[in-house]
């Protein structure tokens, strides 16, 4: 069963096309990574899922409801952390957490206090005196302290320090173990690699790839570094092998996943001294997906961002 089911959604702002036939499926109980370059449409997707924006075309289903029509009922079953957290300057962080909690229909007090402790937040400071990371913590605690089915997190840890990142990953794993669903938009690839069951990659308002990390890796190359007793010649004649560099008895190359077998067999005929294989990182996967156009940000827009 899917907690989120988006199909063929279009959304434009004047002449800027933000979503261009977006399809997205998030299964119940999974942590789903949502990746894409700046301006790809991640925030727009999440705001549409919340019924804050109305899709121009296409269907959006969220927890078996229509987010535009059933907003209130659905919102009681989900929690949201915006990408840019703005707090009321004259309310303390603790007050803000409770405001969000009460308006959502109550939050778990012990969990709230525990999270405040774990995220090391001072809840007595006024909104305007918080640093960016601390504002982010307020929104995170308000969301994570509520017992809901679905969490929509838009770059929730932008601005958090590495220690807090560890706490965050811990809490998310716990949510997954409890069977909650999480949509996690993020630019922090190591975070996505550690937490997500599946990822969707969005570019120019379209999801171009949805897969498990394992499946994604199969689509790409593994990097191999080896020491051989004989001079490692002949590798570049094998199919699927690329970027061979040789220095003395040391060789480094990358190989398509489906030709890995032959390449390693060839190496062993040369007398293997040592072998290190590196699976492709998410960075490399991402670069393959939109690397060539990263420089220009890949978006042909009629109207520029203001």
Partner 1 sequence: MTTTTTRPTPPVRPAQRAGGPLTGFGALLRLIARRERIRVPVWILAIAGLQSAGAAAYPGLYPDEADRQAQALIIGSNPAMKAMTGPGHGLDDYTFGAMMTNEYLGIAVIFAALMSVFLVVRHTRAEEEEGRAELVRANVTGSEAALSAALVAAVIANVALGAAVAIGMAALGIETIDWPGSILFGAAFSAVGIVFAAIAAVTSQVTQFSRAASGMAGALIGVAYLLRAIGDVMENGLSWLSPIGWAQATAAYVDNNWWPILLSLVVAAALAALAFRLAARRDVGAGLRAERRGVAEGSALLGTPVGLAWRLQRATVMWWAIGMFVFGASYGSAIDVIEDYAGNEVVADLIENLGGATLTESYLAMIMGILAIAVSIFAVTSALRPRREETSGRAEAVLATGISRTEWYASHLVISIVGSAAILLATGLGLGLAATGTSAGSSILGQVIPAMLSYAPAVWVVVGVALVLVGWAPRATLVAWIVVVHAFLMRYLGALLDLPEWMMSLSPFRHIASLPAEDFRALPVLLLTVLAVALIAIGLAGFNRRDVEAT
Ligand X SMILES: Nc1ncnc2c1ncn2[C@@H]1O[C@H](COP(=O)(O)OP(=O)(O)OP(=O)(O)O)[C@@H](O)[C@H]1O
21 binds, among Mg ion, partner 1, ligand X, none (CB under 5 to 8 A by kind): none
Q: How far is the CB of 183 from ligand X (least distance, A)?
A: 13
Report whether 230 contacts 210 (CB < 8 A).
no
Number of residues lying near Mg ion (CB under 5 A): 3
Tell me if 21 sits within 8 A of 10, measured CB to CB: yes
Question: CB count, 10 Å around CB of 134?
Answer: 21
**Helical spans, DSSP H, in the chain:** 42-49, 71-75, 93-104, 109-118, 132-144, 162-177, 189-195, 213-218, 260-269, 282-290
Q: How many CB atoms lie within 10 A of CB 300?
A: 9
- DSSP three-state, residue 197: coil
Candidate residues 6, 22, 24, 42; the one interacting with ligand X per rule CB under 6 A: 42
Q: Return the SS3 of 5.
A: strand
* Token pair of 286 as six digits: 């991402």
Q: Which does 44 bind (CB under 5 to 8 A by kind): Mg ion, ligand X, partner 1, none?
A: ligand X
Contact 242, 221 (CB under 8 A): yes
Is residue 204 within 8 Å of residue 37, measured between CB atoms? no
In the complex with partner 1, which residue's Cβ is closer, 128 or 194?
128
Binding residues among 33-52 for Mg ion as defined by CB under 5 A: 42-43
Identify which range of 42-50, 58-66, 208-216, 283-291 contacts ligand X by CB under 6 A: 42-50
* Residue 149 interacts with partner 1 (CB under 8 A): yes or no: no
C-beta closer to partner 1: residue 69 or 173? 69
Indicate which of ligand X, Mg ion, partner 1, none lies near residue 228 (CB less than 5 to 8 Å, by partner kind). Answer: none
Residue 39 touches ligand X, criterion: CB under 6 A: yes
Nearest approach in angstroms of CB 100 to ligand X is 21
Give the binding-site size for partner 1 (rule: CB under 8 A). Answer: 42
Among 261, 279, 289, residue whose Cα is nearest residue 218: 279
Contact residues for ligand X, defined by CB under 6 A: 13, 16, 18, 36, 38-44, 83, 305
Which spans of this chain sit near partner 1 (rule: CB under 8 A)? Answer: 47, 50, 52-54, 71-73, 75-76, 78, 80, 82, 84-92, 94-105, 123-126, 128-129, 139, 306
């Amino acid at each position: 069963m899917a907690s989120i089911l988006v199909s063929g959604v279009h959304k434009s702002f004047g002449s800027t096309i933000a979503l261009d036939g977006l399809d997205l499926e998030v299964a119940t109980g999974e942590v789903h990574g949502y990746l894409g370059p700046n301006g790809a449409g991640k925030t727009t997707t999440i705001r549409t899922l919340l019924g804050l924006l109305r899709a121009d075309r296409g269907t959006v289903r969220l927890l078996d409801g229509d987010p535009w029509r059933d907003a209130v009922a659905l919102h009681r079953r989900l929690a949201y952390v915006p990408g840019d957290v703005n707090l009321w300057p004259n309310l303390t962080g603790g007050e803000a957490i409770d405001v969000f909690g009460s308006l959502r229909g109550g939050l778990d007090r012990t969990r709230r206090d525990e999270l405040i402790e774990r995220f090391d937040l001072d809840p007595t400071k006024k909104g305007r005196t918080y640093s960016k990371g601390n504002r982010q913590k307020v929104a995170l605690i308000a969301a994570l302290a509520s017992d809901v089915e679905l969490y929509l997190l838009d770059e929730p840890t932008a601005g958090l320090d590495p220690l807090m990142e560890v706490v965050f990953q811990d809490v998310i794993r716990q949510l997954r173990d409890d069977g909650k669903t999480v949509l996690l938009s993020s630019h922090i690839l190591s975070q996505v690699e550690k937490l997500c069951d599946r990822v969707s990659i969005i570019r120019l308002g379209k999801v171009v790839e949805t897969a498990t990390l394992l499946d994604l890796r199969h689509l790409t190359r593994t990097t191999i570094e080896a020491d051989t007793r004989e001079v490692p010649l002949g590798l570049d004649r094998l199919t699927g092998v690329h970027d061979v560099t040789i220095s003395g008895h040391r060789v480094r190359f990358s190989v398509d996943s489906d030709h890995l077998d032959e390449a390693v067999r060839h190496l062993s005929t040369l007398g293997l001294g040592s072998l290190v294989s590196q699976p492709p990182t998410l960075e490399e996967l991402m670069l393959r997906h939109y690397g060539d156009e990263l420089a220009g940000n890949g978006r042909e827009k009629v109207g520029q961002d203001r």
